[in-house]
Structure 1
Amino acid sequence: MSGPEPNTQVHRELKSLRDRVPQLTGTLVASTDGLLIAHDLPAHIEPAGMAALTAAQLSLSHRLAATAHGGGFHEVVVHGESGDVVIYAVGWTASLTVLAAPGANIGRVHLESRPAARAIADHLAAVTGEADAASATPPGTQTSNPK
């Protein structure tokens, strides 16, 4: 494999995202089973614990979307008193979690984070050799199938 290692690339994506959106206070990439892949979190947040919480929320969000509308999950926003947490599906195997300060422009967070999630999916797919996995629809997502 030529070029930077995938974890280095994922870390670069996280740093770049935080550089583009100064209101972000932390970022994390975790596998769907709760394993920490990469993070750029403040010192007071334990990364492995946050990865596990993210995986639990991701699982619930997939289930809720499928139950409510029969469709898939793309992202969930949790508005908290002291800031927001946004979790994005990253292909089939991971999630991107961003922490935003109170009053952050969530539209801007989405505008910058959605492409970052796709880029991270590409980096992770390169590791597993699943070139099509990055652009594939996450589990539970329905796509139109003309017949």
Structure 2
Amino acid sequence: MGRLTKVAVVSDPDPNAVVLAELKALRDRVPQMTGALVASSDGLLIAHDLPAHIEPNGMAALSASQLSLSYRLATTAHGGGFHEVVVRGTEGHVVVYAAGWTSLTVLAGPEANVGRLHLESRPVARTIAEHLSAVADGKDQISDTDG
């Protein structure tokens, strides 16, 4: 019987760079969008394109908390999963999208077209989830070698 050996798979480009490129492209497509970030479900920052006055690690932790609370609320109320939550504040919108084991948080001004924001952000959340899942799966590959 062969032994199991972990094989490191080098991802090119860096997964954070790919995610950051998605965030910047999203910001370019959506008028009134002021920033975005991707965080793991436990609040670790993966990538961000935020204004300078917002602390990215704190925002990542808040996004993870909102994701957890929203998931719990949806599960309790309807027995189903969670897709997104919109927080409409006096100075703008914060939208948190479930993206696999991560969340995509998008910030937009008060005059933003939320329908357009959803139209552009939902596919980006799916793309980011698929990309990070593939990277995570690739880094955890195990090969069976004889020796």
> Is this a same-fold pair by TM over 0.5?
yes
Q: Which entry has the higher C-alpha Rg, 1 or 2?
A: 2
1:99 aligns with 2:107: yes
Of residues 109-118 and 121-130 in structure 1, the stretch that sits farther from structure 2 once superposed is 121-130
- Counterpart position of 2:121: 113
Q: Is the 8 A contact 2:45 2:60 kept in 1?
A: yes
Structure 2 residue matching 1:25: 3-state secondary structure: strand
Residue in structure 2 matching 1:37, options 17, 38, 46:
46
SS in 2 for 1:53: helix
Partner amino acid, structure 1, of 2:110:
P
Q: Partner of 1:84 in structure 2?
A: 93
> What is the alpha-carbon distance in structure 2 between the residues aligned to residue 66 and residue 55 of structure 1?
16
Tell me which of 4, 11, 19 is aligned to 2:20.
11
State the 1:99 CA deviation.
0.2
Q: Is the 8 A contact 1:30 1:95 kept in 2?
A: yes
- Please list every run of 5 or more consecutive structure 2 residues that lacks an aligned counterpart in the other structure: 1-9, 139-147
Report the 3-state secondary structure (helix = DSSP H, G, I; strand = E; otherwise coil) of the residue aligned with 2:63: helix
Identity across aligned pairs (percent)? 73
Structure with greater proportional strand content: 2
The alignment's TM-score, normalised by the length of structure 1, stands at: 0.85
Cα displacement string for residues 31-74 of structure 1 (whole angstroms, at most 9, x for unaligned residues): 00000000000000000000000011100000000011111100
The count of aligned residue pairs is 129
Quote the offset at 1:4 in angstroms.
Answer: 2.0
| 2:72 is the counterpart of 1:63 | yes
Aligned-partner SS, 2:54: coil
Runs of 4+ in 1 over 6 A off after TM superposition: none
